[in-house]
Amino acid sequence: MDLLTPVLFLELALLGIGTGFMAGLLGIGGGMLMVPFITYILGSVGVEADLAVKMAIATSMATIIFTSMSSVRAHHRRGAVRWDIARRLAPGIVIGSLVASLGVFALLKGSWLALFFAAFVTFSATQMFLDKKPKPTRQMPGTAGQLAAGGFIGFLSGLVGAGGGFVSVPFMTWCNVAIHNAVATSAALGFPIAMSNVVGYVIAGQQVPGLPPASFGYIWLPALAVVAAGSVLTAPLGARAAHALPVAVLKKVFATILYLLAAYMAWKGLSA
């Protein structure tokens, strides 16, 4: 199987450029975009459908390591990252991520992961699209509450290969954190989410039959290299755009993209 053809290289490069921009813009780490596209690409080169979904999730998460570092620098320069929130959510995120990637991820079939991805992304998109206003007195929970919330975010991220923005951004805005601060803080949280999950995916993916050449556990290294290179270049541009767009537009862009990708992954899960 000659995987890295010129056409495939171009597809992955364009994917990296697009997802990097959206990661900076929406604080979603790019995973919501990458998983469906990498699933499609792996399937087109002969990887079995169930395994393709799992490898797409793992590879997407690995690219978030690089995308997060690039986009969070741009947000930090604008003073938008709420580091106090990030520090309290991060320990729970690490624990939840490891539980998902080391245990549950390996046990579930790829078709079930695809359907779970579609269902939860649809829910998140609906919450964003409706733009329900939180009670003005609601604030972020205390340290224990944020630890639990971080565990939930990390666990869900590990199952769907996303940087957590699809959960953390709605959660923070529900707690009256300004949307631009929520997006920026979500970008910062992408790094501990990605690092913890990647460790789990590599360990859990050892000795899995049917992996294509140049795989490291469940991670497909050619896609990781090309997509990460493209995304690092464009993530700062997306972060700049995030601070120029009005809040209502930002939320509706977020929701619309998630609906489309949820529909594709639901189709993949049902047809697998």
Residue pLDDT, tens place only, 63-82: 888 877 777 887 888 888 89
Q: Report the pLDDT averaged over residues 115-132.
A: 77
CA-wise closest residue to 90 among 224, 11, 196: 196
The answer, yes or no, to whether residue 54 has pLDDT greater than 50, is: yes
- The C-alpha R_g of the chain, in whole angstroms, comes to 17
Question: pLDDT band for position 132 (50/70/90)?
Answer: low
What is the predicted pLDDT for the residue at 254? 73
What is the predicted pLDDT for the residue at 94? 92
Beta strands in the chain (DSSP E): 215-216, 219-220
The answer, yes or no, to whether residue 1 has pLDDT greater than 50, is: no
Ranges of each domain in the chain: 6-271
Question: pLDDT band for position 3 (50/70/90)?
Answer: low
What is the predicted pLDDT for the residue at 28? 60
Question: pLDDT band for position 120 (50/70/90)?
Answer: confident
If phi over 0 gives left and psi between -120 and 50 gives alpha, with beta otherwise, what is residue 37? alpha
What is the predicted pLDDT for the residue at 242? 73
Average per-residue pLDDT in the chain? 82
Q: Of residues 85 and 141, which shows the higher confidence score?
A: 85
Q: Which of 192-196, 239-243, 264-268 has the lowest mean pLDDT?
A: 239-243
Q: Which of 7-11, 137-141, 196-200, 224-228 has the lowest mean pLDDT?
A: 137-141
- List Cα–Cα distances, 4 to 13, 14, 31, 169, 226, in angstroms: 12, 14, 21, 35, 10
What is the predicted pLDDT for the residue at 137? 62
Q: Report the pLDDT averaged over residues 136-154.
A: 83
**To which H or E segment does residue 132 belong?**
none
- Six token digits for residue 236: 């700062």
Cα dihedral across residues 14, 10, 203, 191: positive or negative: negative
Q: Of residues 107 and 13, which shows the higher confidence score?
A: 13
Q: Of residues 133 and 150, which shows the higher confidence score?
A: 150
pTM above 0.85, yes or no: no
The answer, yes or no, to whether residue 251 has pLDDT greater than 50, is: yes
pLDDT tens for 29-51 read 566 778 888 888 888 888 888 88
